[in-house]
Chains A and B, each alone.
Chain A
């Protein structure tokens, strides 16, 4: 099979299945182990606290935003772009329509997708610089912390290049940008269940567990 066909076919399946099944397993593992070893969460479980904490932290209405407004606003914008662009970019929606699933949904204007992509890459650069320059953050950082910023930014950067033929004049890159873009996206998807990127779904387990106790004690959730 031609390499390109492999990447846009079987490898894409592998990437998505790894991402989906891996992430579900992570949550499943948490639920099953916590039922045995962290029973306290369930003994005092109240949806009131869990819902309140999800709201407070998914929206910028929490203590961190008050304490670190610049970082938090950038982090929120970063995450919004991270989710909106891959799902609602017209180029991707078109691919889903052409696929065996034939799913279709509304897309955002291409200009908006462009700006969101640029914003994400810019903020990723900020995160990387911050991690390298700040003595505090550098002390905490592992190789994975640096790598995952690149892994996350690369699909967006290469996606932009592919859509705009930005590096079209450079022979290898121009011809293969779409391939590189797909590979970078697949890399990120595969890494999600195995790294801190799994926080996209474990966020709910972690916040929920803490909120159950903190809410009960009257602390801020």
Chain B
């Protein structure tokens, strides 16, 4: 069913975000097409012209020109392009003579879609989890610490004296993981612990929010939540007075 979209809502969302760079890039893109064969979507789809990066961002200008007067069918087309025709790798920007950041514009389109309630279900759930639990997989602090303790017990059988430090203040490195590790792949945590132990590295895990180094909020253009996620990690690192943050991926 095709519904109208609130044009004012769309423009109220977009206009404050149309900074100087976006406006400039729309003006000076010379439609030279040099971005075409730099894009893996283009080449993997038999050099389909619809996959040219300069083509994929057409919606931004179009929506502004239409003053937000679009409908749900239109947004579905935007969704198709923003999620299925680009993964914001920015390779095109490396080759654009003006360094136009197509990925940033796709990210803005994803943010617009999110504001209209359109985003992949998995990302939406993950964003809710980040907000409530500080991590993508809704792992509670209790379960996280328990998992680390369990990993320590298991690995100690292999390497005597192995410790998995939690909240060690003044350690050199604060190590963060992909939230899927405590949930599905604790062996990854155990393997990292073994390496740290044998290397004699001074490190620690944080106990509370900040241990998840994924950022799915960024993938759906929710930059506010994306910022909170990163801030959590940096805050913990500052509180623990570590020198470096290491990430698992």
Contacts and interface: CB of A to CB of B under 8 A. Distances in A.
A16 interface: no
A57 B97 contact: yes
A37 interface: yes
Interface in A102-161: 134-137, 139-142, 145
Taking chain B's interface residues, is the majority helix, strand, or loop, or is none over half, making it mixed?
helix
Interface of B: 19-21, 23-25, 27-34, 36-38, 47, 49-50, 52, 54-55, 93-95, 97-101
Interface residues of A, number: 40
Interface of A: 29-31, 33-34, 37-38, 41, 53, 57, 62-64, 67-68, 71, 134-137, 139-142, 145, 195-196, 198-199, 202-203, 205-207, 209-211, 214, 219-220
Given A67-B95, A137-B32, A206-B21, 5 more contacts: A29-B20, A63-B95, A136-B49, A145-B31, A210-B99
A212 to B, nearest CB: 10
A78 B44 CA distance: 33
B248 to A, nearest CB: 20
A67 B54 contact: no
Contact of A214 (B28, B33, B54, B99): B99
B57 to A, nearest CB: 11
B192 to A, nearest CB: 24
B20 A33 contact: yes
Contacts of A145: 30-31
Nearest to B30: A196
Contacts of B19: 33-34, 37-38
B31 A142 contact: yes
Given A139-B55, A140-B55, A71 B34 contact: yes
